[in-house]
Structure 1
Amino acid sequence: MSSAHQPSAPVAARVIRTAELAPQPWANGRGRTREVYRQLAAGSTESTLWRLSLADIEATGPFSSLPGMDRYLLSAAPVRLRLSIDGTEHELRHTQVVSFAGDARVSTVAVEGCAQALNLMVRTGLRGGIEVLRGDADLPVTVATAATIAYVVLDGTVTLDGRPLRRLDAVLPGAEESALVLRDAVVARIQVEVP
């Protein structure tokens, strides 16, 4: 299930229940991913500005190569995940983030159980990133918030305008301000500077 960005923002913030998204095979066929959201370049039906997805990683092996994109990967499950990126090993624990070029040589070296990775892919030349928020916070959510394009629940109690959110649910800001409330929570704030 894929959602291409519309030219105008929705009036209210939108909740995407990641658990309801159908898994699709990786480009190289070695894993599964759920596309949370994709924004296309203005006037295009194929050119991606950024894409947010959640991957299941259960085995070692190479990642797909994505030339022309920069990638940000957050370990979204409480299991250790070890990656090799251009020959350098990185051991990621829950909520740790690593970034790399889309055409880097990346492979899973070791995984304990079923790992999950929250992936942000941004067209090279655009600035992006994943910031992890922890604890209690009352956040105004709107498209007017500079560069923030999504929030993803990783743990704890989170509500949007009083509606409870589940682990891995995503929130896309709308034109109207909504209230995102975190209580003893961990949330990923996804940022992309879109021209």
Structure 2
Amino acid sequence: MHILSACDYPTTPWKNGGGTTRQILIAPPGATLEDFDYRISMASVASDGPFSYFPGVDRQLLLLDGKGLLLQRGDGSNSLLQIDSQPLAFPGEEAITSQLQDGPVTDFNVMTRRGRYRQQTERLTVQGKLNVHSDDEVLLLMLAAGSTLEVYREDGRHCQLRTHDAVWQALAVGLTLFSAEGADVIVVRLNRQGAA
């Protein structure tokens, strides 16, 4: 179990140069935006504009804070992301332009190289105790909102997360989450393509 502190996330420029992102996790170690297997990040979006082009990459996006982000899709449709929205899945090569609804937002982004990894991302509300089963190659949890979150493993190890901190593990081990005051948690599951 690895604890990732929000204050330690490195900041990197967007692929299209239109802003910056805070990288939470990338694989393999030392990978770049051109050759990663998977990448998890969060970004502050302060202006309207096009998304970066990521051919061969599957993406999921959700909102961490802000009033909303309208995505104008390549097929002419629109998708509105808000705080209570579930993750939006789309291919990285899709032409998308974003429009802020009422001020800046912070988003959470999961990208996997198509054919190498598949992803599942969800948002959970934790009030009291919640068990999270895992038979995944990689499991990452991030405290999206709430003051603290207690995380316990089956082997007795535990940690405490603060807002935007994350914990990840590369073993299929279940976790127990606890929050007395209530917490908004993002769960990301990553598995190799073709794996059982």
- Which range, TM-score by smaller chain? 0.7 to 0.9
Structure 1 residue matching 2:7: 3-state secondary structure: helix
Identity within the alignment, %: 25
**Match runs of 1:29-178 below 5 Å:** 29-40=17-28, 47-86=35-74, 87-96=76-85, 97-125=87-115, 126-136=117-127, 137-139=129-131, 145-156=135-146, 157-161=148-152, 163-173=159-169, 175=171
SS at match of 2:123: strand
In structure 1, runs of 5+ residues without a counterpart are 1-12
Count of aligned positions? 179
Gaps of 5+ in 2: 153-157
Structure-2 separation of matches of 1:163 and 1:123: 30
Amino acid at match of 1:180: L
Q: Shift in Å at residue 155 of structure 1?
A: 1.6
Q: How far does residue 89 in structure 1 lie from its aligned partner after superposition?
A: 1.2
- Per the normalisation by structure 1, the TM-score is 0.80
* Partner Cα distance (1:105, 1:140) in 2: 35
Cα distance in 1 for residues equivalent to 2:105 and 2:36: 26
User: Contact conserved, 2:119 with 2:191, CA < 8 A, in 1?
Assistant: yes
TM-score by length of 2: 0.80
> CA separation of 1:88/1:147 partners in 2, compared to 1, >3 Å: closer, same or farther?
farther
| Matched AA of 1:131 | E
After superposing the two structures, state which structure 1 stretch, 20-29 or 52-61, moved more. Answer: 20-29
Alignment partner of 1:29: what SS? coil
